[in-house]
Structure 1
Amino acid sequence: MQAKHSNPPDGGYGWVVVVSAFMVMGLTAAVLKTFGLFFVEIQQHFDELASTTSWITSVTIAIFHLGAPAASSLCVRYTHRAVVITGGLLAFSGMALGFLGLSMVWMYATTGFLQGLGIAFSWTPAVSIVSHYFSKKRALANAIASAGECAFAFTFGPLFQWLISQYGWKGALLIIGGIQLNICVCGVLMRPLASSCLLEASHSETETPPGNGATRMDKEEKSPITQKTFNWMLVRRPEFILYAIFGILAAMSFFVPPLFLVLLSYSLGIDESWTASLLSILAMVDFAGRLLCGWYANLHITKTVHLLTMTITLISTSLMLLPLANNYLSLAIFTGFYGFFFGTTVAVHITVLADVVGMPDFDSALGLFMLIRSTGGFMGPPLAGLIVDVAGDYRAGFYMAGATLVLSAGFLVTLDQFQQRKEKGSQTNTKQEKSTLPYPSLHLMKLQ
């Protein structure tokens, strides 16, 4: 049994997959982003401390990242469609069972664990299958899909507030769970590129006659899905390790600005209503940055790893300048710069990962990258908080984030240099093989 497509279609039905991934991004990451609106309601209902209540979101984020390798492994073993549908059912179960609100531990297990696992099983394969469907337009497709997070987050804020005011926090959870069932519909639309029976596909590959002139590596490059097992050996590849270290340092920084932006505005004496508008500005410019960067990367003017290095450098610069703001206007301008360049980074970093490891190992690489990157997300906010406590100024957190991003850009430069040396080495070996002639007399004539 053969795959439906020997090469990524780079369009056609692929755009249906992109729209489906756009919806999945909104119904998973955007829900996680705006879940803070339930914080006070849940805290007051159970009469718990803020630190105790915050563990709901912490468990969700942790399971989201820890479940990514499992989701990638299931994508390799079965299909992206099956895993996304499973994720939608898990996400719905987490919200629907959270509706019961039996205890705080119950909330950890439902809206924490089940919701996080549902997000992992939906988000990871949705990102992965877009890269399988596109090659030349991969950056643009990934950018459009990731923009769903921004678009839905902008809408979910007022919607969730209205649901809580009308139906209470429990009723709102149940309705949101029902909305998340649409993830299953999006999963159905994610038609597999290859045969759903991977064992039959691999059997047909092994029966290919050896003299047909096509090597196994050529088939892996042409076939969108060839890896039949999860490849843990990626951790031994230097280029993947360099990119994973970049991911850790970047994650340490990305979670810091949203955490201290509101607090910094309060310390400057900015009114609460104006402070809320900063978050709206952040969402809008983030959305614009993703789409514009995806469009530019699709032109193939700049190498994707070079583009990512530039965006990381610009983010670090904006974070270093942001603490210089002394009023609302200057703070809004620097926040806009940060949000725009953050969007450009999100739009292209998955494409760079695909370029680094190649499509045959992409599913495994995405799961491992998410798992390794999570350590930066866990370490960043506490470290920034410690620095702020020692310095006694919220600006110190932004300086820490900017400096960490500068360090992460260094690993991208090292990765690019490593890849260039590797390419030159392979080209040299190819030339040497071509220069070796089969007959000694011809080789002697070549020397003369």
Structure 2
Amino acid sequence: MARHSKAPLREAPDGGWGWMVVISCFLVNVCTRAVSRCLSIFFVEFQNYFAQDYAMTAWIHSTVDCTTMVFAPIGSIITNRYSTRVTVILGGLLATSGLILSSFATCLEYLYLSLGVLTGCGYALSYSPAIAIVGKYFSKKKAIAYGLAMSGSGIGTFVLAPVVQLLIEEYSWRGALLILGGLVANICACGALLRPLSLEEDLPNSSINSIVSRCTSDECSYKVPREDPRLLRHSVDLNCPGKDCDRKQLCNCCPSYKEYAFLLTPDFLVFAVSLLFMAYGCSTPFVHLVPYAVSAGVNQKQAAFLMSILGIVDIVGNISFGWLMDRGCLKKYRKYCYILTTGLDGLSSLFIPILTSFPLLVPYAILYGYFDGAYVSLIPVVTSDIAGNAFLSSALGIVYFIHGIPYLIGPPIAGWLVDATGNYTAAFLVSGLSMIFSSMMVISIDWIKKCRNSVDIQTTIVESDPTTTTFLTASDNQI
């Protein structure tokens, strides 16, 4: 194992051991997101074995995704306290245990706990920390690095979808879950390769931690300076619980503030709300595409092959958009590319009512898979652009936490719509419209940023020059 150098680097190395980190993150995506997507192939088996309707069975998949995202901030907290390596290995052990225990299930409620909660917690501790550390190793090549790393979900889906179907036919669903548990154990090996990296921006003299020096023994309250770019000119009061306050005390009593100061920014808040609608919309096709194809008359193997097509095209979207976003002429348009791909992904789902055969569903799988791969690879990049690279680990934890509630309620709501209407039209239409609305919300971020900057400039001029303030007041009175 490569040794970790404690000497801080001025900037990300953009290569070297970073490519091993990309490979590790790629494999973590295979063992988490790809395996999670392929769980929909088990749905027919679960329905027949446990004699339950589709809505009840859909709770298994939604619980896995919800737990993965809701507990993502815990993965960030453990990473900040210890290391990415420890967090990912712990997550691999939990996810493996959940899948192995699920092979002994006797009822759906058992699967809710073993497959949904336990495996989901393992994924939560593995997924976001592995993604966040890629951003530490890359700066100029960040988009292509994330494109390659995130393509693991697409390649994994392409390979695992037919393999899982074959495993179910040969060993039943119990044997298939047991074998998947052995596959997911490789997360522990991937975690061992995630060597920590020290950057100057993470040291105590960085912009966010420099605020600590303002706290003295005579004055325990201080305000965040308006010129601090990481906090985007927000004034926040922090108080230490005692008369005497020094730097060490402040660091110990306010750790959450330092790690989550980006939550104060209005552009991140708008981005967070848009993710709620995006997460709801993107969950439906992955859960319901195979059952929809079967209901339309497509045989089971062809329906599973649609997931393989979606997965392989997802890879093309990951890598091609990652490469494009690193071009100098397109770097400043990353956010707009994210908006475009999210909107087009939702638009493609609106055509699902007229796609009633395998040849018609193939173009849908291609379009949806490509745009899905594109915006998924851009989520960490856009998050880094909005929150700042120093906050990337904590910001990704919050971003994936926001995915939790839509992932929990999305598939069951879609299943309820299927049971209520007798078809999948309403489920896919709501999914597509939700993603389109999400992309429209992100457009408003630039407008909010311009309004905030204009107000801050005016405030800075007034506060920094009393003479100007007097002159402006006198001029206003004359007018």
Q: Distance in 2 between matches of 1:113 and 1:29?
A: 15
Which digits, 9 at most, give the CA deviation of each residue in 1:58-104, with x for residues without a partner?
33222212211111111111111110111111112222333444665
Distance of 2:175 and 2:409 partners within structure 1: 34
Q: Deviations over 1:218-243 (max 9, x none)?
A: 999xxxxx996474554432111100
Residue equivalent to 1:18: 22
Matches within 5 A, 1:348-367: 348-367=378-397
1:7 aligns with 2:35: no
Partner of 1:248: 276
Per the alignment, residue 84 of structure 2 pairs with 80
Q: 1:40 to 1:406 in 2, by over 3 A?
A: closer
Matches within 5 A, 1:227-376: 229=256, 231-262=259-290, 264-265=292-293, 269-302=297-330, 303-325=333-355, 327-376=357-406
State the 1:147 CA deviation. Answer: 0.6
Contact 1:63–1:120 (8 Å) recurs in 2: yes
Letter of the 1:148 partner, please give it.
G
CA separation of 1:16 and 1:434: change in aligned 2, threshold 3 A: farther
**Percent identical:** 33
Aligned equivalents of 1:41, 1:271: Cα separation in 2: 15
Deviation of the 1:263 alpha carbon: 5.3
Judging changes above 3 Å, is the alpha-carbon distance between structure 1 residues 404 and 173 closer, same or farther for their aligned structure 2 residues? Answer: closer
1:322–1:335: 8 Å Cα contact kept in structure 2?
no
Query: Deviations for 1:308-347, whole angstroms, at most 9, x for unmatched residues?
Result: 1111232233233443446543432233222211111111
Other-structure match for 1:443:
none
TM-score scaled by structure 2?
A: 0.76
Which residue is 1:187 aligned to? 191
**TM, length-normalised to structure 1:** 0.81
| CA pair 241-35 structure 1, distance change in 2 beyond 3 A | same
Structure 1 residues 296 and 85: CA distance shift in structure 2, 3 A? same
What does 1:207-222 align with in structure 2 at a 5 Å threshold? none
Distance 1:309 1:15, change over 3 A: same
Q: Unmatched 5+ residue regions in structure 1?
A: 221-225, 438-448
Task: For structure 2, list consecutive stretches of 5 or more residues without a partner in the other structure.
Answer: 215-224, 232-250, 468-479
Q: How many residues are matched?
A: 425
SS of the aligned residue for 1:255 comes to helix
Q: Which residue of 1 aligns with 2:72?
A: 68
Aligned counterparts of 1:259 and 1:176: Cα–Cα separation in 2? 18
Measured on the aligned residues, the alpha-carbon RMSD in Å equals 3.8
Alignment partner of 1:150 is 2:154 = yes
Bigger mean CA offset, 53-62 vs 354-363: 53-62
How far apart are the structure 1 equivalents of 2:144 and 2:204?
31
Aligned equivalent of 2:121, options 117, 130, 135: 117
Per-residue displacement from partner, 1:376-431 (whole Å, max 9, x unpaired)? 23343455456666766533333322322222122111012223445566778899
**Aligned position for 1:140:** 144
Q: Distance in 2 between matches of 1:70 and 1:326?
A: 43
- Tell me how far apart the structure 1 counterparts of residues 430 and 418 of structure 2 sit (CA, whole Å): 9
Give the Cα–Cα distance (whole angstroms) in 2 for the partners of residues 357 and 316 of structure 1.
26
The amino acid across from 2:19 in the alignment is: W
Contact (CA 8 Å) 1:73, 1:229: kept in 2 or not? no
Change (3 A) 1:382 1:160: closer
